[in-house]
Structure 1
Amino acid sequence: MELIYAIAIGVLAGSGVWLLLRPRTFQFIMGLSLVSYAVNLFIFGMGRLTSGRPPVVDPAMAHDPSWYADPLPQALVLTAIVIGFATTALFLVVLLASRGLTGTDHVDGRESQS
């Protein structure tokens, strides 16, 4: 399961970096979102990938820390998702305003040759 999880994070991060290098603003914003999702999955994975176990501490198993998942990464990722959604909405509004003022959505302000 860890291998599939690592591959998913790698694909998200790689796709995000590729989109960050594109010349259009919308692709740049989508690249930022994908990199953000990759980082969120990475942080979430740091809280141990377990199934069928209690999310915090079971009093009967409190002496064994490997029995429970760490709730801190889950809280951090939940906060990051909310902040990322608000930031993406702000970026899209700025994108639309910039496109209305300049007439293009290229990062450098010039039209492409194709």
Structure 2
Amino acid sequence: MTGGGAGPTLVLVIIVGVLVGCGVNLLLERSLTRILLGIILLGNGVNLLIMLGGRPGVAPVVGTGPVDQMSDALPQAMVLTSIVITFGLTAFLLAIGYRSWYLTGDDEVPDDIEDRQIVRRAERDEAATADLGGEGADADPEQVDPEPARRRLRRGDGVE
């Protein structure tokens, strides 16, 4: 094994962790600008992680002798492909962000209509369970008769 070059030091591993952690944290936000920054940070962190992979202290090299050493193209090809994909996703999110800003003046991701309906339906089901004499989710199922609530749902009362 030939020596040379520094392997993945603790500083580089911490940098990868910080980039990926910040990227995931930003991805969980509701602003398209922060989501875009999170995708960029996450992509850069993963690219750095791929390039750090391999044997510590040795460049990504195939072959053992000094004559037949050649660079392993797989990590570079994977990172190049990842860069292209991240760039395409960045352009797409920039277009979506611009369109959202143009139409609404805001880049917040709104709640989905179906998500709101599911939340309302769950709240109605809790209220119906409480109306039937139950104690909510902790109620004994033998003491709660769900049939009146089912009849109301079949009739369409309260269904949006």
Shorter chain as denominator, the TM-score bin is 0.7 to 0.9
- How big is the shift at 1:21? 2.2
- Higher RCO structure, 1 or 2 (CA under 8 Å, sep 6+): 1
The alignment covers a number of residue pairs equal to 104
Gaps of 5+ in 1: 110-114
Root-mean-square deviation (CA, aligned residues, Å) is 2.7
Identity %, equivalent residues: 40
My pick for the range that moved more, 97-106 or 31-40, is 97-106
Gaps of 5+ in 2: 1-7, 112-160
Partner Cα separation in structure 2 for residue 81 and residue 54 of structure 1: 19
- How big is the shift at 1:23? 2.5
Q: Trace 1:27-106 onto structure 2 (pairs within 5 A).
A: 27-48=34-55, 50=57, 57=63, 60-62=66-68, 70-106=72-108
- Specify which structure has the higher proportion of helix: 1
C-alpha contact 2:26 2:38 (8 A) present in aligned 1: yes
- How big is the shift at 1:14? 1.2
Determine which structure has more spread, i.e. the larger CA radius of gyration.
2
Does residue 24 of the first structure (1) align with residue 31 of the second (2)? yes
Partner Cα separation in structure 2 for residue 76 and residue 49 of structure 1: 19
- How big is the shift at 1:89? 1.2
Give the direction of change, closer, same or farther, for the CA distance of 1:47–1:54 in structure 2 (3 Å limit).
closer
**Tell me, what secondary structure is at the counterpart of 2:91?**
helix
Deviations 1:14-65 (A, max 9, x none): 11122112221101111011111111111111244656x6855586454xxx
**Tell me, what secondary structure is at the counterpart of 1:22?**
coil
C-alpha contact 2:32 2:93 (8 A) present in aligned 1: no
